Amino acid sequence: MNPEHRLKVENIKVRFGGTFALDGVDFSVAPGEIVALIGENGAGKSTLMKVLSGAVIPNEGSMLLDGKPFAPRNPEEARHSGIAMIYQELSLPATLTVQDNIFLGMELCRPLLGTNWILDRAKMRNAAESALRELGHDIPLTTLVRDLSISDQQLVEIARARAVGCKVLILDEPTSSITRQDVQRLFALMRNLKAQGHSIIYISHFLEEVEEVADRFVVLRDGKTVGGGKIGNSTHEEIVALMVGRQLTDLYPRSKRNFGETLLELESLAGDAKLQGASFQLRRGEVLGIFGLVGSGRTDLIRSIFGLDTIRSGNIKVGAYSGQASPAQRWSQGIGMVSEDRKGEGLAITRTIAENLVLSFPQSCEKAGTFSPSTMEATADEWIEKLSVKCRASGQRIGELSGGNQQKIAFARLLHHGVDVLLLDEPTRGIDVGSKKQIYEQIDSLARNGKAVLIVSSYLPELLGICDRIAVMNRGRLSEPKNVEGLTENSVMLEAIA
Amino acid sequence: MNKHIKDWVNKLMPLGALILVYAIFAVIAPPSFVSLKNLELIVRQTTIVGIASLGMTLVIIGGGIDLSVGSIVALVTVVIAWLLMAGSSPILAALGGVFAGLVCGFINGALITRLKLVPFIITLGTLLVYRGCAKGLAHEQKIDAPLSWINELLAALKPEHTWMIVPGGVWLLTLLAIIVALVLRYTRFGLYTFSIGSNEQAARLCGVPIEKVKLLIYGISGLFAGFAGLMQFSRLTVGDPTVAQGLELDVIAAVVIGGGSLAGGEGSVLGTILGALIMTVIRSGCTQMGLSNWVQEIVTGIIIVVAVVLDRMRHKQT
Determine the Cα–Cα distance for residues A427 and B183; give it in Å rounded to an integer: 51
B197: contact with A, CB 8 A cutoff: yes
**Cβ within 8 Å, pair A95-B197:** yes
- Minimum-distance CB partner of A118 among B3, B186, B197: B186
Q: Which pLDDT score, from 0 to 100, does residue A287 have? A: 95
Residue B7 scores a pLDDT above 70: no
Q: Which pLDDT score, from 0 to 100, does residue B240 have? A: 94
For chain B, strand residue ranges (E) read 143-144, 238-239
* Chain B residue whose CA is closest to A100: B191
B267 compared with A150, residue with greater pLDDT: B267
Among B199, B262, B266, which would you mutate to test the A interface (most chain A Cβ atoms within 10 Å of its Cβ)? B199
Looking at 1.10.3470, 2.40.160, 1.20.272, 1.10.10, the CATH number of the domain B14-312 comes to 1.10.3470
Identify whether the C-beta of residue A97 lies closer than 8 Å to the C-beta of residue A114.
Answer: no
Residue A150 scores a pLDDT above 90: no
Q: Which pLDDT score, from 0 to 100, does residue A467 have? A: 93
Q: Which pLDDT score, from 0 to 100, does residue A336 have? A: 93
Residue B241 scores a pLDDT above 90: yes
Say if strands A421-425 and A452-457 run parallel, antiparallel, or are unpaired: parallel
Q: Which pLDDT score, from 0 to 100, does residue B4 have? A: 66
Q: Which pLDDT score, from 0 to 100, does residue B1 have? A: 47
Determine the Cα–Cα distance for residues A207 and A315; give it in Å rounded to an integer: 33
Chain B neighbors of A117, CB-CB under 8 A:
187-189
B216: contact with A, CB 8 A cutoff: no
Chain A neighbors of B188, CB-CB under 8 A:
107, 109, 116-117, 119
- Looking at CA atoms only, how far is residue B65 from chain A in angstroms? 18
pLDDT in tens, A72-108: 888 778 888 888 888 776 678 888 999 998 888 878 8
* Chain A residue whose CA is closest to B183: A118
Residue B318 scores a pLDDT above 50: no
Q: Establish, for the pair of chains A and B, how many residue pairs have beta carbons separated by less than 8 Å.
A: 62
CA geometry: angle A93, B265, A143, nearest 5 deg? 60
**pLDDT average, residue stretch B131-158:** 89
Say if strands A370-371 and A366-367 run parallel, antiparallel, or are unpaired: antiparallel
CA geometry: angle A252, A255, A260, nearest 5 deg? 120
Decide: helix, strand or coil at residue B269.
helix
**pLDDT average, residue stretch B49-68:** 96
What percent of chain A stands above pLDDT 70? Answer: 96
Determine the Cα–Cα distance for residues A216 and A239; give it in Å rounded to an integer: 12
Query: In terms of Cα–Cα distance, which of A184, A264, A216, A205 is closest to A46?
Result: A205
Range ranked top by mean pLDDT from A166-175, A230-239, A405-414, A484-493: A405-414
CA torsion, ordered B210, B215, B218, B223, to nearest 10 deg? -140
Q: Which pLDDT score, from 0 to 100, does residue B233 have? A: 95
Determine the Cα–Cα distance for residues B57 and B50; give it in Å rounded to an integer: 10
Quickly count: other Cβ atoms within 10 Å of residue B221's Cβ. Answer: 36
pLDDT in tens, A129-144: 888 888 877 788 888 8
Helix (DSSP H) and strand (DSSP E) numbers for chain A: 16, 25
B194: contact with A, CB 8 A cutoff: yes
Domains and CATH numbers, chain A: 7-244 (3.40.50.300), 262-497 (3.40.50.300)
Among A104, A116, A142, which would you mutate to test the B interface (most chain B Cβ atoms within 10 Å of its Cβ)? A104
**pLDDT average, residue stretch B252-263:** 90
CA torsion, ordered A431, A432, A437, A441, to nearest 10 deg? -40
- Looking at CA atoms only, how far is residue B219 from chain A in angstroms? 17
pLDDT confidence band for B46 (50 / 70 / 90): very high
- Name the interface residues of A facing B (CB cutoff 8 Å): 75-76, 79, 91-96, 100, 104-107, 109, 116-119, 121, 143, 146-147
Q: Which pLDDT score, from 0 to 100, does residue A247 have? A: 45
Query: In terms of Cα–Cα distance, which of A268, A282, A278, A271 is closest to A318?
Result: A282
Q: Which pLDDT score, from 0 to 100, does residue A1 have? A: 42
Chain B neighbors of A107, CB-CB under 8 A:
188, 191
- Looking at CA atoms only, how far is residue A80 from chain B in angstroms? 10
Q: CA dist A101 to A121, A133, B115, B210, Å?
A: 13, 16, 29, 16
Q: Which pLDDT score, from 0 to 100, does residue B316 have? A: 58
Amino acid at site A42 = G
Q: Which pLDDT score, from 0 to 100, does residue A292 have? A: 87
Residue B160 scores a pLDDT above 70: yes
Determine the Cα–Cα distance for residues A332 and B135; give it in Å rounded to an integer: 59
Determine the Cα–Cα distance for residues B95 and B80; give it in Å rounded to an integer: 8
Q: Which pLDDT score, from 0 to 100, does residue A295 have? A: 77
Chain B neighbors of A79, CB-CB under 8 A:
205, 207
CB-based burial of residue B205 (10 Å sphere; 0-12 exposed, 13-18 middle, 19+ buried)?
A: buried
Residue A206 scores a pLDDT above 80: no
B207: contact with A, CB 8 A cutoff: yes
CA geometry: angle B94, B96, B99, nearest 5 deg? 110
DSSP letters for A16-81: ETTEEEEEEEEEEE-TT-EEEEE--TTSSHHHHHHHHTTSS--SEEEEEETTEE---SSHHHHHHH
- Rounded to the nearest integer, the mean pLDDT of chain A is 86
**pLDDT average, residue stretch A226-247:** 77
pLDDT in tens, A389-401: 888 888 888 888 8
Residue B273 scores a pLDDT above 50: yes
Residue A481 scores a pLDDT above 90: yes
Residue B152 scores a pLDDT above 90: no
Chain B neighbors of A143, CB-CB under 8 A:
3
Q: Which pLDDT score, from 0 to 100, does residue A448 have? A: 92
Identify whether the C-beta of residue A24 lies closer than 8 Å to the C-beta of residue A224.
Answer: yes
pLDDT confidence band for A201 (50 / 70 / 90): very high
Determine the Cα–Cα distance for residues A70 and A85; give it in Å rounded to an integer: 16
**Cβ within 8 Å, pair B206-A104:** yes
Residue A468's contacts (CB-CB under 8 Å, 6 or more residues apart) are A257, A259, A286, A287, A288, A447, A483, A484
* Chain B residue whose CA is closest to A161: B206
- Looking at CA atoms only, how far is residue B217 from chain A in angstroms? 15
Residue B231 scores a pLDDT above 90: yes
pLDDT confidence band for A388 (50 / 70 / 90): confident
**Cβ within 8 Å, pair A147-B198:** no
CA geometry: angle A48, A51, A55, nearest 5 deg? 125
User: Per mean pLDDT, which range of A232-241, A413-422, A477-486, B79-88 is the poorest?
Assistant: A232-241
DSSP letters for B129-184: HHHHHHHHHTTTSPEE----GGGGSSSPPPGGGGGGSS-HHHHHHHHHHHHHHHHH
Phi, psi of B176 (to 5 degrees): -65, -40
pLDDT in tens, A323-378: 889 999 999 999 999 998 888 888 988 889 999 999 988 888 888 888 888 999 99
Identify whether the C-beta of residue A446 lies closer than 8 Å to the C-beta of residue A422.
Answer: yes
Q: Which pLDDT score, from 0 to 100, does residue B124 have? A: 96
**pLDDT average, residue stretch B231-259:** 92
Determine the Cα–Cα distance for residues B129 and A244; give it in Å rounded to an integer: 62
Residue A288 scores a pLDDT above 80: yes
- Minimum-distance CB partner of A117 among B188, B198, B202: B188
Say if strands A366-367 and A335-338 run parallel, antiparallel, or are unpaired: unpaired
Q: Which pLDDT score, from 0 to 100, does residue A17 have? A: 64
- Looking at CA atoms only, how far is residue A279 from chain B in angstroms? 32
B318: contact with A, CB 8 A cutoff: yes
Q: Which pLDDT score, from 0 to 100, does residue A273 have? A: 77
